[in-house]
Amino acid sequence: MILAPNEPGERILLHLCCGPCGEYPLLKLREAGWDVVGYFHNPNIHPEAEHDRREAAAREFARLHDLELVVESQPREELWRQFSSTSKLEHCRLCIYMRMNRVAAYAGRNGFRFFTTSLLVSPWQEHQMILDAGQVTAERRRINFLAVDFRPGYREGQEMAKRDGLYRQRYCGCIYSLQETDEKFRTPYLEEFGLTLDDLPGRGA
C-alpha cells in the first residue's frame, strides 16, 4: 500500500538505480497520485561503459514513460578500489548511504518534500539498510522518505522492462559485484570490458 500524497499531484523525487527497476515503482507511485520526477545518480556502477549503458536505459525508460529525468552521475571505480579491504556489508552501506544522501540533498534543494528509490523493488538488495538510509538522510534535510516495499512487484517490473526493450543488467553495479556474479554472466562482461578476474578486487564476507 503506497501512501497517497496529501495534495493530489504533489511531486516526489524517485531515485532510479537503472531503467528496469524504475518500472514498477513509477507505475505504483503514479497510481497513488504522485507527480514523479526521476533522478539518476549511481557512481557505484563500474566500469564506465556499464555505467553509461544503465544511464542510457534510464533515459530510454524516462522517454517511453514521459518521465522528467535529472541525471547527476559519474562512476567512481577508484573510490571502490580504495575500500577493497572492507566487507561486503560495509561496501553496500557506503554505496547506499552515499546515494541516498545525494538524492535527499537534491530533493531538499529543489523543493521536493518527498523522495524514494527504485532500489526498494529489488529482492537482491539490503532492503532494511535502504530504508534506514532513506530515513536518516531525509531527516537531515528535513524532508520525507517514502518507505515502500516494492519487492512484490519485482517480477512484474522486469516483465514490463522486457516489453520496453530495456537493457537488464546481470550484476548489482560495483566491481565487487561483477566479481561475485554467476560465472555465466560474468564471463561475457569481462570479455566485453577487456578485463580478467585478476583485474577485479576481492573483499571480505
How many residues at the interface with ligand SF4, by CB under 6 A? 9
**Residue for grid cell 548489482:** 172
Q: What is the 3-state secondary structure (H, E, C) of 151-194?
A: HHHHHHHHHHHHHHCCCCCCCCCCHHHHHHCCHHHHHHHHHHHC
- In angstroms, what is the minimal distance from the CB of 3 to ligand SF4? 25
Pairing type for strands 68-71 and 114-117 reads: unpaired
Closest to ligand SF4 by CB, 95 or 143: 95
Question: Which strands sit side by side in the sheet containing 114-117, from one edge to the other?
Answer: 68-71, 35-40, 11-16, 114-117, 144-145
Which of 29, 95, 107, 131 contacts ligand SF4 by CB under 6 A? Answer: 95
Which of 173, 186, 200, 203 contacts ligand SF4 by CB under 6 A? Answer: 173
Is residue 137 within 8 Å of 103, Cβ to Cβ?
Answer: yes
Which of 28, 172, 186, 203 contacts ligand SF4 by CB under 6 A? Answer: 172
Q: Tell me if 133 contacts ligand SF4 by CB under 6 A.
A: no
Closest to ligand SF4 by CB, 4 or 89: 89
Interaction residues for ligand SF4, span 71-90 (CB under 6 A): none
Cell of 82: 580504495
Q: Tell me if 41 contacts ligand SF4 by CB under 6 A.
A: no
Residues engaged in binding ligand SF4 (CB under 6 A): 44, 91-92, 95, 172-174, 176-177
